[in-house]
Amino acid sequence: MLSSTLSLLALAGAASAQVRGFNYGALYADNRARQLADWEADFRAAQDLPGVGGFNSARLFTMIQGYSNNEIISALPAAVSTNTSLLLGIWCSGGEEAFSNELTALRNAITQFGDQLKPIGLSIGSEDLYRISPTGIENESGPGAQPDQLVNYIQRAREVLQGTAWADVQIGHVDTWTAYVNGSNNAVIEALDWVGVDAYPYFQTVNENSIENAPQLFFDALQATEGAAQGKPVWVTETGWPVTGPASGLAVSGTEDA
């Protein structure tokens, strides 16, 4: 998800200390790239949300500034200036050249911000396994990445972190619960420090997914992921309920349910 998103980030592992925040794409919905001033404004807006105590964390999907080859995403200096903690991300569904550019941006980010930022973690990929699944293909979700490819990417990212200020940053992967319970993806789980799950009952149209049943579907997905996680901590990296858009099964969008 390189474009704009406002799904919730709600990490609940010991290392994440009940982190709450939003997921942010490198681009807005109109395909404008978020610039430094945009990131700062978005982060401050999240911190000033009334009634929730403020959200001071953010998850990124890429290390690369929008429409550049490998320039560091300007969310990093914005995080420094706004005291926002980051769950960093590397996009893994763009092929080898794109991934190499992600690693270049990661190296440069460590050099430039290693002493100013301590990331919550680093996610290698986002829903890459879902997108190559029958459901992902049916939904025309776009290109993904094979399990062995992701394992290779995870290993290479670890090598970049070794011996740096971010050497102890924990590495994970983000995907749907259905990807994790698929045994053909076990090698990816084995390579991780933590497992990130995206859980959206709204889109589970094969189930009774009314708002009344949404909590049960959410916790079922979380429990299934925990059962497949090989004892590793599970972080809820995306969840939420759309405020606009078409109905999805029994689920209806709107601010009341959201």
Q: What is the spatial distance between Cα 160 and Cα 182, in angstroms, rounded to a whole number?
A: 29
DSSP 193: S
Q: Of the listed 102, 127, 138, 226, which one is catalytic?
A: 127
Q: How far is CA 238 from CA 46, 113, 159, in A?
A: 16, 26, 27
What is the rounded CA–CA span in Å between residue 238 and residue 90? 16
Residue type, 125: G
Burial per residue of 108-142, b for 16 or more beta-carbon CB atoms within 10 angstroms, e otherwise: ebbeebeeebebbbbbbbbbbbbbbbeebeeeebe
Q: Choose the catalytic residue: 40, 102, 208, 238.
A: 238
How many CB atoms within 10 Å of residue 97?
9
Catalytic, 40? Answer no
User: Taking the CB of residue 58, how many other CB atoms lie within 10 A of it?
Assistant: 25
Q: Which helix (H) or strand (E) holds 21?
A: strand 20-24
Assess whether 127 carries a catalytic annotation.
yes
Q: Dihedrals φ, ψ of 237, to 5°?
A: -95, -20
Q: Containing H/E element for 126?
A: strand 121-126
Q: Which residues are catalytic?
A: 127, 238
